[in-house]
Amino acid sequence: MIDVVGTLKRGARGLIAHIDFPLLLITLTIMAVGLATVHSATYGGNERLLSQAGNMGVALVIMWFVARLPPHKLMGFAIPLYIVGLLLLLAVFMFGITVNGAKRWLSLGFTRIQPSEIMKIAMPLMLAWYFHKYEATLRARHFVVAALLLVIPFGLIAKQPDLGTALLVGGAGFFVIFFAGLPWKVMLGLGAAAAGAAPFLWNMLHDYQRKRILTLIDPTTDPLGAGYHIIQSTIAIGSGGPFGKGYLNGTQTHLEFIPERHTDFIFAVYSEEWGLLGNAALVFLYTLLIGRGMMIAAAAPTLFTRLLAGAITLGFFTYAFINMGMVSGILPVVGVPLPFMSYGGTALVTLFLGIGILMSIHTHGGRVNK
Amino acid sequence: MSDFHNDEIERDRFRFRLGIAALVVLMAFGILIGRFTWLQFLQHDFYRTRADDNRIALIPIVPNRGVITDRNGVVLARNYSAFTLEITPAQTNDLEATIDALAEVIDIQAKDRKRFKRLLDEAKNFESVPIRTRLTDEEVAKFTAQRYRFPGVEVKARLFRQYPLARVASHVTGYIGRITDRDLAWIEEEGRQANYKGTDHIGKNGLEQHYEFELHGETGYEEVEIDAGGRAVRSLKRIPPVSGNNLQLTLDSKLQEITEQAFGDRKGALVAIDPTTGGILALVSTPTYDPNLFVDGITPENWKELNEHPDKPMINRTINGAYPPGSTFKPFMALAALELGKRTPNQAISDPGYFNFGNHQFRDDKKGGHGSVDMYKSIVHSCDTYYYMLANDMGIDNISKFMGSLGLGQRTGIDLGKDDAGESKGVLPSQEWKKQRFKKPEQQKWYAGETISIGIGQGYNAYTPIQLAQATAVVANNGVMFRPHLVSQIIDAKTGEKRPVEPRPIRDLKLKQQNVDVIRRAMVGVNKEGTGTRAFAGAPYEAAGKTGTAQVYSLKGAEYKASAIKKELRDHALFIAYAPADKPTIALAVLVENGGFGAQSAAPIARMVLDYYLLGKLPAGAAKEDATAVEDDHEE
């Protein structure tokens, strides 16, 4: 007799075998908050809410699929993904379409894609693979090569210009190099060099980027132009007070004073309605997410998985910190969405891809060899 | 083994770096929490205020302007609600294109565009400016169906001022127009800026200006929540406006209308007063104009036509035109003589047809003179020689003092225009006046010869028709003088409470009754057996009157022949009257510019007014239909 129940059980167990529940739970909690906030930000229509829920469904499937792939298979994607990403970035550089003054998109006729998004995953994957490959013979020159692998896509993305994505991609790459053991002296030296080069970098920035930084220092210099976003979002946050104005009651949101309310500035919407208490809760959720990611990284068996898990985890942190920092007015305005909160399918897929990789690393345990 | 050891070291090194990263994460999140605490806890009040400032706007609600009605409740000025099509420039990309596109849906003429441009220059960017007024229901429906095509364009219901009688009593009502910088200065002077937020029209003259602050009402406010685009989202609080007070006049609009018609196309003025109260019954200045032209902003063409018209329709002749009174001055001279004891009624002179003074001969109208003339005859037949002599005997200062007590040469203080800036004083000649008037010492001196022609109402004499009417009313009312006024009561639109304008006697001249009676008898005689006989033939009531003819042009000794002189140089015709003679209820002064003899052109108008007022009799040929009939079409 066939053990129907047993088969089903085993099948079900097989389905969820590579899911890390703590990670899933944390992520879904933030997602739920995000969906509720998207609903509030687009109050009056559920179009965005449903669309985002759909995005989430797709992203979860991708996560599930990636989680089932063992890390050594992931490793196989490193080079092709990186090369495809790089070629697409070059294509953008040459044939990209310009939207709002930035050349970020590549038209495929039926749709258009933003290749820089691929690099958010391809970059840490590639560098982790690279360090893993030369683990035994690691020399200074490997760091130099890694730096080159990092700088070329970073430069192409920054040139588009898309400082936000460039920072995320550059950050993800840097975290790999950092975890791979970049000497402290070099880091100090780089820091000093960066400080020294600041005036030079300043000159390289686009006018609008400079304006954003100046605006950050004093938003009131241009209250209706560049400063408008920051002024209105800080008013939203500040007026939320300790306990918030209540769900769906944010005046700044519902009277449309906050720009980009369901995307980059969604945190202002959330913060106005839930107040300091809500903010603390959200930061706590992100801390849990990052903590879980770090636990996975710490337990990861190989250099590749360690580096990848560490970089992806710190990537989440970078997203969250830059976004909340800019919306609350302590960082310049760059196009960085709030992870699992901001509306947008592409970003969500990338994020869940990262979650999937973390799950894969954690659930294909065993002291698997190189 | 060494591999494994190496692995352990690698992992520890990695974990150390992970620990460092964790510290950085915690520090960064700590900074964020610090920032949130600053914004949401420490600075919360500040940001809450900013958020409220963002979202709450006070929108003024303009009150309904008070309605003006005549003594019988006939409406002279009212409001009506009409749909206007308005464009908010700040919310429109291409104004020209928008208007062109609108013109395909709704009739927009060149004059509409012109007015829009003019209003646009005055308006602030976020205010909506009307492109079309008085939309029909069909037009409103047409636009509404296509509204999505026109961002920044909307249909608004606005209140418009309307003067239903159009040209009738336009100088009384005056009109309202858009607030100018000068009006703003006035509003500020009165400390009423707050109440005029949202108001864009103000009284420009007449009653509309004099009673501006009664008519305006109190502006209400609506506290609304606005979105970032400045659109009102919902109402938070509403303080309703208080409508302006209504004015009920002493004026009889029917009397006003038929009098205006009686003037035909002649220029002139008539003021009829109730001598027992000072209430104005009719205040006519012709030609009149249509005050409705001004309501939406008068077009430059219309304005040019009115302003540059040779007959000067915009001038209110009753209070701004100063004319020599001519022989209508004689009853006042006679009264002065009696009061001052310079003449007795029966004291007669012998009139040779002239009066010699120095080497100048003052001639009488009638060649060969009137023979023996006493006071009665001097008035009835308007004997000049009698008054040349009388003026000479009285002296200029006596004349001036007495005429001044009748109100001549002084502003009456009628409730028209702003303060008394709108009213002329006229000229009451005296030695003092001449000293003030002229600069050169030889001109400043008063010559006794100048007094002679003053006696027959010529010379420097110049009075407004309302002054003449008031002086006549004073005589009719036995010397008790009231301030002429148009408003009988101010009615609170909300409570209905009536505030009557109490007739206040300004002064009592304490005239001797027998003197007043002498004058009355003589003035009745004018209409029975004198210069006014023909005009008052068959009148069933006894009316006191006096004709007058005022020289506009010095003939330098030549014979006056009307047909030989250009019309605008012909004499002005005057008539003063009151009736019923024994118990007067109406006193009036009529002036017909370039009308020739008073008996011919002015007296018949006076007769018509008295017939209507005392008997309710409409003049033959006058429109029989109700004066309240509204002229609906006041399109520019």
Nearest-by-CA chain B residue for A325: B32
What whole-number distance in Å separates Cα of residue B323 and Cα of residue B321?
6
Mutate to test the interface with A, among B32, B42, B48, B236 (most CBs of A within 10 A): B32
Residue B9 vs residues A25, A299, B81: alpha-carbon distances, Å: 33, 14, 89
User: Does the residue A217 lie in any domain?
Assistant: no
Mutate to test the interface with B, among A251, A316, A369, A370 (most CBs of B within 10 A): A251
Nearest-by-CA chain B residue for A281: B33
Q: Which of A175, A255, A306 sits opposite B55 (nearest CB)?
A: A255
> Is residue B155 pLDDT above 90, yes or no?
no
Set of chain B residues whose Cβ sits within 8 Å of the Cβ of A41: none
Nearest-by-CA chain A residue for B48: A239
Distance from CA of B126 to the nearest CA of A (A): 16
Set of chain A residues whose Cβ sits within 8 Å of the Cβ of B54: 232, 235, 251-252, 255, 257
Q: What percent of chain B has pLDDT over 70?
A: 92
User: Does the residue A208 lie in any domain?
Assistant: no
Q: Do A252 and B21 touch (CB under 8 A)?
A: no
Return the SS3 of B81: strand
Nearest-by-CA chain A residue for B224: A255
Q: Do A239 and B13 touch (CB under 8 A)?
A: no
Set of chain B residues whose Cβ sits within 8 Å of the Cβ of A134: none
User: Does the residue A282 lie in any domain?
Assistant: yes
Strands, DSSP E only, in B426-508? 480-482, 487-491, 498-500, 505-508
Indicate if B424 belongs to the active site: no
User: Does the residue A127 lie in any domain?
Assistant: yes
Residues 26 through 55 of chain B touching chain A, CB cutoff 8 Å? 26, 28-29, 31-33, 35-37, 39-41, 43-44, 46-48, 50-51, 54-55
**What's the confidence (pLDDT) of residue B632?**
35
Say what the ipTM of the complex is. Answer: 0.93
> Is residue B125 pLDDT above 80, yes or no?
no
Low-confidence ranges of chain A (pLDDT < 70): 1-2, 44, 216-226, 365-370
Set of chain B residues whose Cβ sits within 8 Å of the Cβ of A236: 51
User: Does the residue A249 lie in any domain?
Assistant: yes
Average of per-residue pLDDT across B177-184:
87
Set of chain B residues whose Cβ sits within 8 Å of the Cβ of A237: 36, 39-40, 47
Residue B402 vs residues A19, B124, B518: alpha-carbon distances, Å: 116, 56, 17
Catalytic choice (B327, B378, B382, B430): B327
Q: Do A239 and B31 touch (CB under 8 A)?
A: no
User: Is the C-alpha dihedral spanning B563, B566, B567, B569 positive or negative?
Assistant: negative
Is A251 near chain B, with CB under 8 Å?
Answer: yes
Number of domains in chain A: 1
Distance from CA of B41 to the nearest CA of A (A): 6
**What's the confidence (pLDDT) of residue A369?**
41
Residue B231 per-residue DSSP state: -
> Is residue B216 pLDDT above 80, yes or no?
yes
Q: Which of A239, A275, A298 sits opposite B50 (nearest CB)?
A: A239
Set of chain B residues whose Cβ sits within 8 Å of the Cβ of A233: none
Average of per-residue pLDDT across B248-252:
95
Of the pLDDT bands very low, low, confident and very high (cuts 50, 70, 90), residue B345 is very high
Q: Which of A242, A256, A325 sits opposite B229 (nearest CB)?
A: A256
What whole-number distance in Å separates Cα of residue A262 and Cα of residue A269?
8
User: Does the residue A194 lie in any domain?
Assistant: no
**What's the confidence (pLDDT) of residue B555?**
47
Q: Do B54 and A310 touch (CB under 8 A)?
A: no
User: Is the C-alpha dihedral spanning A61, A62, A63, A69 positive or negative?
Assistant: positive
Q: Which of A214-223, B189-198, B276-285 shows the lowest mean pLDDT across its residues? A: A214-223
What whole-number distance in Å separates Cα of residue B307 and Cα of residue B12?
99
User: Does the residue A155 lie in any domain?
Assistant: yes
What whole-number distance in Å separates Cα of residue A281 and Cα of residue A37?
14
Of the pLDDT bands very low, low, confident and very high (cuts 50, 70, 90), residue B221 is confident
Look at B231 and A97; give whichever has higher pLDDT.
A97
Mean pLDDT for chain B? Answer: 87
Q: Do A251 and B225 touch (CB under 8 A)?
A: yes
What whole-number distance in Å separates Cα of residue A246 and Cα of residue B224?
21
Q: What is the DSSP secondary-structure string of A59-99?
A: HHHHHHHHHHS-HHHHHHHHHHHHHHHHHHHHHHHHHPEEE
pTM score? 0.69
Q: Which domain holds residue A166?
A: 20-182+223-363
What would the two tokens of residue B215 be?
């008519």
User: Does the residue A323 lie in any domain?
Assistant: yes
